[in-house]
Amino acid sequence: MTEQATTDQRSAGQAQPGAGTRTVTFHVSRSKRGEDPHRQSFEVPVEARTTVLDAMISIRRHQDPTLTLRHSCFHASCGTCAMRINGREGLACVTNVEELGGDTVTVDPIANAGAVISDLVSDMSAMFGHYAPMERPLVRPSELGPGSRPAEGVAELERFEDCIECGICVSVCPISATDARYLGPAALAAAWRVVVDPRTADAERAMALADVDHGIWRCHTAFECTEACPSNVDPAGAIMNLRRAATRRRLRGLLGGSRSER
């Protein structure tokens, strides 16, 4: 990658630089449709609260409006700002620059989710192409303990699914890096959620989608996905659970029982 450099005098997230700021150089991956990527350097004043997302927005606002990135919620809930920061996948909105240490930070788009459209933006259609057919519900019942009952007046305590569809698990996965047909940890974790809690989705169908050569059997149990997940989803654990369920399902099939029994 070649490098270019520009400088800004404003602290990221602030109208003017103030006390407690220092300058950090961000080496940011740049590429527009079809171009080979190169890194461009930007000097950004940062302070104690500055996140990598703050810094990227500051660059776009004050140095280069053509820098493209995805972001929305600013609190690790939407999953859109996943990037590779100093070579490791993370959500830019909750990656504090000071906690990274050092005077330079590299920022690259996540890998394996789809082709890079522009700068830090990947086309997520490849990942969602594997993921969408699982039809994982957005909201699930909370994990009430055995025998617990929802409080009076509340029909059923519910919570959003933990997976925020950021693509980090796919980006770190060594199999997704080499096999575009591999369903990947996000889709397989979604399949497991449907299998254990089908509600509106079809558990048998999700199981059948996952129980293929390029599904649960392609995983090499590197567990990178579980290690990197910012929402503690444990995709690797889900894949292992699916393998056990698939094995039972196959055995039942051989013995003449119903495959739909879990």
Stretch of 36-44, 147-155, 203-211, 215-223 contacting other proteins, by CB under 8 A: 147-155
- Closer to other proteins at the Cβ: 155 or 254? 155
Judged by CB under 8 A, the number of residues near other proteins is: 55
32 touches other proteins (CB under 8 A): yes
Write the burial class of residue 87 (CB in 10 Å: 0-12 exposed, 13-18 middle, 19+ buried).
exposed
Interface residue with other proteins among 103, 145, 147, 154 (CB under 8 A) is 154
Q: What would the x/- binding string for other proteins be over residues 166 to 195, using CB under 8 A? A: ------------------------------
Three-state SS string across 171-203, please?
Answer: HHCHHHHHCCCCCHHHHHHHHHHHHHCCCCCCH
Interface residue with other proteins among 2, 99, 155, 178 (CB under 8 A) is 155
Nearest to 12, CA basis, from 52, 68, 70, 40 = 52
Q: How far is the CB of 195 from other proteins (least distance, A)?
A: 18
Residue 73 CA, distance from chain mean position: 14
Interface residue with other proteins among 25, 94, 222, 248 (CB under 8 A) is 94
23 touches other proteins (CB under 8 A): no
Interface residue with other proteins among 1, 5, 73, 180 (CB under 8 A) is 73
**Strand 3-7 to 38-46 pairing:** parallel
Nearest to 190, CA basis, from 162, 218, 227 = 162
3-state secondary structure of 67: coil
Nearest to 89, CA basis, from 113, 61, 60 = 113
152 touches other proteins (CB under 8 A): yes
231 touches other proteins (CB under 8 A): yes
29 touches other proteins (CB under 8 A): no
Nearest to 110, CA basis, from 130, 124, 98, 94 = 124
d(CA 187, CA 111): 16
Chain positions contacting other proteins, by CB under 8 A: 10, 13-15, 32-33, 49, 51, 58, 61, 65-68, 72-80, 93-94, 117-118, 121, 124-125, 127-129, 131-132, 135, 137-139, 142, 151-155, 157-162, 164, 200, 231-232
